[in-house]
Structure 1
Amino acid sequence: MAGPVVWDRWSRSIDDPVMAFADIGFMFDIKKYQCSPKQVEKADPPLYRYHPERFKAYRDYAEPVSKFYRQKVEPSSGMLTVGQLNEIMLTMISELNRRSMAFPRKQKGSHPESSLVIEAEETLATAYGRFTQAGRQIMDFPPALIEMLARTDIDDIPLNSIRLPYASQYIHFGPQKDLELELGWFVDGAYVEQRGVSGDVRFTLTAIPHDHSLSRQWYVFPEAEYTQDFVGDYRLMDLSTAINTMLSDRLDSLKVQQTRKGGDITASVQNELSMSGSSIPD
């Protein structure tokens, strides 16, 4: 038994609580109605601008995942076994279901599928878990440094020459208005992880919503993110070649998947190209 599901929620401001009680008192004995004070939204955490801080502020399962990584996950690579991933997912989905059932079902008609929420949470939960396992290291890049880095040519840097100070760290560079992962979600940082062997890395881009209330409703609205592993053969490539090869492989995979479904791959291909700042030629 999953428990009760909220169908709809209605609220209004009142001037006279006594008269309001008299007006709706007859509903109190009807089991399908529940009258209660309006829920107060949780305030943004003081360090909301940093993804790890806002992630843990709105998710009860964040601390259990953090503890799980510290106690059970191999620290040098952060790789999970199937059983470990299932354990993390069970913790996350339990909270997702609990919160989702308390959200008015009538208002979910136009909302994204829950599978999209689960997919986003899996990516972010594992990135956050590894981040906490490695000591919760946040690097805050000021705008001046970001501007200088944007003008620096790093295409020829071999991946296996990259040395990270920690097994995982979060790099914060603030909302980038020209990097919008989803409508209203702006790239603001990235988790950068070592994956064991020198040159094997994972990048997980995070995004901050223009509407901060979306962070509180992560169980309804999937948080925009993008993750990519550069492992194996990629470690022998320079950064530019690795990105181009990864993108080509990803697009080939999409074409195969879409061909099997008999669908139009235009939207998916355009989305992949936009990640690299490109677009489909007219």
Structure 2
Amino acid sequence: MPTSDTATLLIHCPDQPGLVHDVTGFIFSHGGNILDLEQHIDPLGNLFFMRVEWSLEKFHLEKEEIDSRFSILGRRHQMWWKLHFASQRKRLALFVSKESHCLYDLLSRHEAGELPVEIPVVVSNHEVLRPAAERFGIPFHHFPITPANKAAQEEAQIALLREHGIDTVVLARYMQIVSPALIREFPDAILNIHHSFLPAFVGAKPYHQAYERGVKIIGATSHYVTEDLDQGPIIHQDVMRVSHEDSVADLVRLGKDLEKTVLAKALWWHVMNRLLVYRNKTVVFS
């Protein structure tokens, strides 16, 4: 993690000569010291992707000026870009239901200083995990959901998130399909952990599906949420070998370890502004 304030630009645009020169030249011309730079070219799509981070210690422009000054260069190259500052920590809402393993893992990392974010709220459709949230001093908000009240409850959830200035939602085994309204409120900022190696075994009970198919590996997938269920841009995946001797309970137990680590790594990349979404894919800058 940076020890002083830095700025990060995420960029994509049509590939063309001179892009790296122009972007780094902009930073150099204003006294910036580049700390990290990664680029990727998709030759099939003729696309250029870039992440560049620089120190603001001796940078001549005020934070409020950078975006508008860069826009001259950005428009010339038909760029999409997003600017982030390390000092502006993301504010997370953790959505949970009854499963505790992902919630405990993220709250433990946060308490240990390993996750540089603010977590003002935990939101749930059940009361089961209230003690877990309160153990870490995080306010817990219960929104019981039925088919009849789902729309109204989600409106109340959105109001709560706005009130607390939330910019990222983490579905830490939240067993509800979120509405298009919530997705539109947080584009490319709702992370989900799916207890399966997508696109295999979508929907409910993937470990039961995997057991019935006699799979030799199980997996977990973290992805951004879109209106297409379990079809959003994939951020991170991992797998574990299993055998015919493993029961459904074994698969669930082993899978929970995968879910925790996959979600934590995906969230880390999101928090550190290392993810760039283009259409339905992600570029992950390591």
Q: Would the TM-score normalized by the shorter structure come out above 0.5?
A: no
Instruction: Calculate the TM-score normalised by the size of structure 2.
Output: 0.22
Q: Looking at both structures, which has the greater relative contact order when contacts are Cα pairs under 8 Å and sequence separation is at least 6?
A: 1
Please identify which structure carries the higher helix content.
Answer: 1
Q: Which has the larger radius of gyration?
A: 1
Please identify which structure carries the higher strand content.
Answer: 2
